[in-house]
Amino acid sequence: MHRSIKALPLALLLGLSACGNDDPGEGPPKTVEGEWATETYGLVVKLRGNQVELFERTEVSCLPLAAGALEEGRLPDVDLRFRREGDALVIEDSGTLYVRGKRAPIPDLCTRPPPSPKDPVLNFDILWNTFNEQYALFDLYGVDWRARYQQFRPRVSATTSDDELFALLSEMLTPLRDGHINLGGGERHFSPKPFPDDFYENHDAVLQYIDQHLMKGPGVTRTGGGQLAYQSLNARVGYIAVFKMMKFTEAADAASDVAAAGKAIDEALAALGDKAALIVDVRFNTGGHDAVSLALASRFTTTERLGVSKKGRTRDGFTPARELRFGPAGPRPFTKPVYVLQSGLSASAAEIFTMAMAPLPQVTLVGERSLGAHSDTPTRQLPNGWTFGLSIEQYFAPDGQMYESVGVPTDVAMPLDCASIAAGTDRILQEALRLTAALP
């Protein structure tokens, strides 16, 4: 399902600046050299000369994440920039990542010999502690995480098999009905909130419909690395489908994706801008970069607006809310009626797009509530090689509401009905066309 999650900078992208200055006009740059601990993401950072080391830390572990020599101020294959902001270290990518850190000595855990990778107890403890220190939504799901520890930890021992451990961890995570939580180990995969059953029951037929009618076919133009397609539905209505909020280009960094996405949407609007209305379809979009979502939304406004705001989980609570804003961009903003199609498959950065679009005066959301999985979701790796993801932030729409779990609401309700799509009837698209027919 990544994916039904946002693309994560710590494992993707490139570009790390070794030093910075919060006020370049006054005095020499403030060094970032030294040892740091971040308030979110659970990172430990060591910067010495041109050498960088990053660790993932919990109370019981400190595991290497990335290391290397800076090359002209960059660490290859990691889209991170380091700069000073007052006394704090700030880590950013070329998208919307913003992580603050303070000076702190490297914990002894980080310099010890690596632990036995197959130890079931250690792997359990690392996963539990990562959630305990970083997960942002326990209150939303009404889960007492310490009680879960007391219930499940006694069931783990040195003789617990991989199958037993995976089943136990899955059971422990089940009450967190969060579409961004995932656990993977070999052929084993688990999420406490998978896509609806009718999607899986009609999976192949739905994908065939998307391929034949939305991605291809007479009059369909596909652009942006295949992630955006557009066509004229009739003399008055244009149609734009966005399949992901990432991979608009082969370049790995978010900034390149944003530029390529902007070029793709501008191409579509140049072709369809004379239409009386547009239908923008993100029903089958499982996410990507928030920055791409806001870049697309920027083509539909003439004023700067709030896209979303978010708070990161810290050990003691949450960071202050940070706003992600967007303003007009592109040669030809479209301010005539726009019908945004959304479904329970719309996830993560696709939901950031619909939250940003919903307040625009010309926009009507049509379909069903989205998946309800918004947070940045770092992918963690256990010593045994298994991976897991967790939500480390709380996202808020421009109306101040948090639509995590429940999904972004629509103005015109219509279920996706995968069985009907499999049979060739697209009820949500038909409803949007019906609405456009009533326009003057």
DSSP sequence for 332-370: S---S-EEEEE-TT--THHHHHHHHHTTSTTEEEEES--
What's the pLDDT at 104? Answer: 97
Please, which pLDDT band fits residue 289 given cuts at 50, 70 and 90?
very high
- In this predicted structure, the answer to whether residue 17 has a pLDDT above a threshold of 90 is no
213 and 353 both lie in a single domain:
yes
Please, which pLDDT band fits residue 1 given cuts at 50, 70 and 90?
very low
Instruction: Read off the pLDDT of each residue in 264-274 and give the average, rounded to a whole number.
Output: 98
What's the pLDDT at 74? Answer: 60
Helix (H, G, I), strand (E, B) or coil at 34: strand
What's the pLDDT at 198? Answer: 86
Please, which pLDDT band fits residue 93 given cuts at 50, 70 and 90?
confident
- In this predicted structure, the answer to whether residue 95 has a pLDDT above a threshold of 90 is no
**What's the total number of domains in the chain?**
3
Which residue, of 190, 213, 238, is where some domain finishes? 190
209 and 341 both lie in a single domain:
yes
Instruction: Read off the pLDDT of each residue in 412-422 and give the average, rounded to a whole number.
Output: 95
Which residue range is the domain that position 76 belongs to? 1-114
15 and 53 both lie in a single domain:
yes
86 and 127 both lie in a single domain:
no
Please, which pLDDT band fits residue 76 given cuts at 50, 70 and 90?
low
296 and 425 both lie in a single domain:
yes
Q: How far is CA 104 from CA 36, 71, 90, 112, in A?
A: 5, 26, 14, 17
Planar angle of CA 174, 176, 177, nearest 5 degrees: 90
184 and 46 both lie in a single domain:
no
What's the pLDDT at 130? Answer: 98
CB 79 within 8 A of CB 96: no
106 and 151 both lie in a single domain:
no
Q: Are strands 363-367 and 338-342 parallel, antiparallel or unpaired?
A: parallel
CA gap 82, 93 in Å, rounded: 9
Q: Is residue 258 part of a domain?
A: yes
- In this predicted structure, the answer to whether residue 72 has a pLDDT above a threshold of 60 is no
**Which strand (E) or helix (H) includes residue 69?**
strand 61-69
Which residue, of 65, 87, 114, is where some domain finishes? 114
CATH code at position 326? 3.90.226.10
Instruction: Read off the pLDDT of each residue in 279-294 and give the average, rounded to a whole number.
Output: 97
pTM to 2 decimals? 0.91
Closest CA to 123 of 188, 52, 58: 58
- In this predicted structure, the answer to whether residue 3 has a pLDDT above a threshold of 80 is no
DSSP secondary structure letter of residue 245: B
95 and 218 both lie in a single domain:
no
Q: Is residue 68 part of a domain?
A: yes
Higher pLDDT, 14 or 390: 390
- In this predicted structure, the answer to whether residue 39 has a pLDDT above a threshold of 60 is yes
Please, which pLDDT band fits residue 71 given cuts at 50, 70 and 90?
low
Please, which pLDDT band fits residue 14 given cuts at 50, 70 and 90?
very low
CB 7 within 8 A of CB 288: yes
**pLDDT tens digit string along 384-411?**
999 999 999 999 999 999 999 999 999 9
The 3-class SS string of 187-210 reads CEEECCCCCCHHHHHCHHHHHHHH
14 and 52 both lie in a single domain:
yes
Least confident of 159-163, 201-205, 407-411: 201-205
What DSSP letter does each residue of 284-302 carry, written as one string? T---B-HHHHHHHHGGG-S
108 and 215 both lie in a single domain:
no
Which residue, of 171, 190, 209, is where some domain finishes? 190
Please, which pLDDT band fits residue 101 given cuts at 50, 70 and 90?
very high
Q: Is residue 402 part of a domain?
A: no
Q: Is residue 382 part of a domain?
A: no
- In this predicted structure, the answer to whether residue 29 has a pLDDT above a threshold of 70 is no
Q: Is residue 379 part of a domain?
A: no
Q: Is residue 321 part of a domain?
A: yes
Q: Is residue 381 part of a domain?
A: no
Q: Is residue 400 part of a domain?
A: no
Q: How far is CA 40 from CA 54, 91, 296, in A?
A: 14, 11, 28
26 and 86 both lie in a single domain:
yes
209 and 227 both lie in a single domain:
yes
Average pLDDT along the chain = 91
Instruction: Using the Cα atoms of residue 298, residue 304, residue 308 and residue 312 in order, give the sign of their dihedral.
Output: positive
Q: Locate 197 and state its tokens.
A: 């059953």
Helix (H, G, I), strand (E, B) or coil at 35: strand
